[in-house]
Amino acid sequence: MKLLVKLGGTLLDAPEPRDRLAAEVAQARREGVEIVVVHGGGRQMTRYLAERGIASRFVNGLRVTPPEIVDAVLKVFAGSVNHELVASLNRAGAPAVGLSGIDAFLVEAEQMDPALGAVGRVTKSNPALLHLLAGNGFVPVVACVAGDRQGAIYNVNADQMAVACAAAFHADQLIFLTDVDGVLDGTGQVRPLLTARESEQLIAAGVATGGMQAKLNAALAALRGGVGRVCIAPGSTGNVLSRLLGGEALGTRMVLSGGQAA
């Protein structure tokens, strides 16, 4: 089985949850699952910039990335956040390799909108490095930074990075581990199953906004890109990976249409 796990930056902001999730990834790997991990680091990035007197600004859940903070994007996402997670995985017994989309053209991107600065839209993903590493027992850990053939560097939404890697890797399952219990409806209740149409309705009604809006769009893109199963689940739940892989209903499972609910 091929699995891609996307970890939100909030789950990586302290040693305890990071080490717990690393142990769960290591356990799944020991059971024969080929795993790729993609991570964000938004909270760490916001704190890093604030410590330097730079305010963070977001448009539709995307961080505006002017040229002067691209260096910070590399230092935080591909630097400290990535390698702290790699170290936790290594300690848990899962030999991990820290990467970004720049490495070996793993993920290529183009500028999404000049108004957003160096925010990238994924244009292509080359899974050769993921297959090489995961197929030989390593855990690729991919930071949400991409490049292009001219050497430009882009900050890519981590959910979109996860989708690009999952589709190219031909993942059987994509699991978004978040700091919430799942996708909430207008009454604040978790939706255990959500179709594409229902997701669009939550966005149109203003119920799913910002980061959750981006996550829903990414989940649907993954399903349309051939990923067999997509789930948005609470990363704070104990043994969340083994429980999800065992078929337990945690969080929100995404499907394209009601006919796929079975």
Choosing from 120, 159, 182, 211, the catalytic residue is 159
Choosing from 120, 215, 235, 251, the catalytic residue is 215
Choosing from 40, 42, 98, 182, the catalytic residue is 42
DSSP calls for 68-133: GGHHHHIIIIIIIIHHHHHHHHHHHT--EEEEETTGGGSEEEEES-GGGBSBEEEEEE-THHHHHH
Q: How far apart are CA 201 and CA 213, in angstroms?
A: 11
Q: Active site includes 13?
A: no
Which DSSP helix (H) or strand (E) runs through 198? helix 196-204
Choosing from 6, 40, 147, 211, the catalytic residue is 6
Q: Active site includes 9?
A: yes
Q: Active site includes 41?
A: no
Q: How far apart are CA 250 and CA 192, in angstroms?
A: 7
Q: Are 230 and 219 in contact (CB under 8 A)?
A: yes
Helices (H) and strands (E) in the chain, counts: 9, 14
Choosing from 8, 9, 41, 98, the catalytic residue is 9
Q: Are strands 62-63 and 153-155 parallel, antiparallel or unpaired?
A: unpaired
Catalytic positions, written as ranges: 6, 9, 42, 159, 215
